Copies of this chain bind each other. A is one copy, B any other.
Amino acid sequence: MTTREDCLELDRKDALAGLRDEFSLPAGVIYLDGNSLGARPRAALQRAREVVEHEWGTDLIRSWNKAGWFELPLALGDKLAPLIGAGPGEAAVTDTTSINLFKALAAALHLQAADPARADRRVIVTERGNFPTDVYIAQGLAQWLGQGYQLRLVDRPEDLPAAIGADVAVVMLTHVNYRTGRLLDMAGLTRHAHDQGALMVWDLAHSAGALPVDLNASSADFAVGCTYKYLNGGPGAPAFIWVAPRYLDRFRQPLTGWWGHANPFAMQSEFVPSTTIRSALCGTQPTVSLALVECGLDVFAKTDIHSLRQKSLALTDLFIELVEQRCAAHPLELVTPREHALRGSQVSFTHPHGYAVVQSLIDKGVIGDYREPGIMRFGFTPLYIRFVDVYDAVETLARILDEGDYDLDRARDAVT
């Protein structure tokens, strides 16, 4: 049985342990919610000051050129690229995940509609258990396009291959499920989709920065993702979008704002799409939030994603092992796959009183979160979570469950 001393020893031997110093973490807190909002890189405070005080306050409008504000979405896309198996000029950091997904889906459907052999395909395949906004965005787009476009919602990941048939225009999947933490086979599913004549859109919200992602090696077509979870870009920081190089010159999406124009400052009255990744841009971006994304990405330059993945799996293995040992008497059920190849960087357990238990954990400084139905989520960001944090978190959970120390009548917060 793993002891606290064993965990301290694992931390002493951990070659990545020093990365924790790159982050500012509050005292007395074990933060297992980096899968929802990543912790703050220390550098972000100084960077925020620089942007607000000097770039905005002193240099004012000149910062569009001088501080490179206009180039930020592409510069950050290039900096992010190695983490998702992309090359330079293929990704941009801009807008929100929902909006980028709308662009990617619309572009994919447009490409299919332009191909005589595929123009009659009308089905978008996704998981019913995908993050809701992904499903909603696809529903909204299908409804507005009309012409019979429809969603096919698949209940179990195992059933995905069978659901991807000759009537499917686009498959849109989230690489790691937000509730279960289950990791899908990007290369295999993409190959299957292509074999069936469908295009493949990946949402990397719970995988970018958490584990190795290789979009180009998987021959994926489009991808979107989030910078404020495992990438530690700051609350609600702009999301990213990736376009496979073979589609860059014909990426067409309905949000044709001026930043996507081939020559935005010519101020022409006719939209001419850029033939670069700029065609995925739309309007002026929130510069302060955008600039802070760089601080999160800079941390990854000090390590490599394969080492992070090893540590992440060690952390989640340990958490599962300890919970199953210490909390065996309680009605917890592991939702996350045990198999490494099927696991992201989070572990989810259900409990009949999951919401109340999570609130009690938070009150005691162990921050996880709750997702309907009954799911307690614990994210393990290998950049700043220690093995001893895992041990202490499980001890706290065990004590809460042993003592029934949670309040079933507690009013729910607006945001859970």
Contacts and interface: CB of A to CB of B under 8 A. Distances in A.
Nearest to A178: B267
Contacts of A416: 265
A57 B259 CA distance: 32
Given A132-B267, A228-B284, A286-B289, A58 B26 contact: yes
B235 A63 contact: yes
Nearest to A413: B65
B234 A287 contact: yes
A305 interface: no
A140 interface: yes
Contact of A271 (B49, B128, B139): B139
A371 B288 contact: no
Interface string A361-378: 010000101011000000
Contacts of A7: none
Contact of A48 (B39, B52, B367): B52
Interface in A92-107: 95-99, 102, 106
A57 B40 contact: yes
Interface stretch (A194-202, A210-218, A249-257): A249-257
Contacts of A270: 135, 139
A331 interface: no
A286 B290 contact: yes
A3 interface: no
Contacts of A98: 255, 257-259, 282-284
B99 A282 contact: yes
B57 A256 contact: no
Interface string A2-33: 00000000000000000000001010010101
A380 interface: no
A67 B367 CA distance: 17
Contacts of A328: none
A26 to B, nearest CB: 5
Contacts of A139: 256, 270-271
A355 B69 CA distance: 21
A334 interface: no
Interface string A207-239: 000000000000000000000100000111111
A61 interface: yes
A300 interface: no
Contacts of A235: 51, 55-56, 63, 69, 286-288
A45 interface: yes
B52 A292 contact: yes
Contact of A288 (B132, B289, B369): B289
Interface in A375-416: 413-416
A117 interface: no
Given A133-B258, A235-B69, A52 B61 contact: no
Smallest CB-CB A-B distances: 10 pairs: A140-B256, A98-B283, A98-B257, A286-B289, A96-B283, A235-B287, A133-B258, A40-B57, A64-B415, A136-B271
11 contacts: A48-B52, A52-B292, A70-B415, A96-B282, A98-B258, A99-B282, A102-B254, A136-B271, A137-B257, A140-B254, A286-B286
Interface of A: 24, 26, 29, 31, 33, 36-37, 39-40, 44-45, 48-49, 51-53, 55-65, 69-71, 95-99, 102, 106, 128-129, 131-133, 135-137, 139-141, 143-145, 153, 228, 234-239, 253-261, 264-271, 282-290, 292, 362, 367, 369, 371-372, 413-416
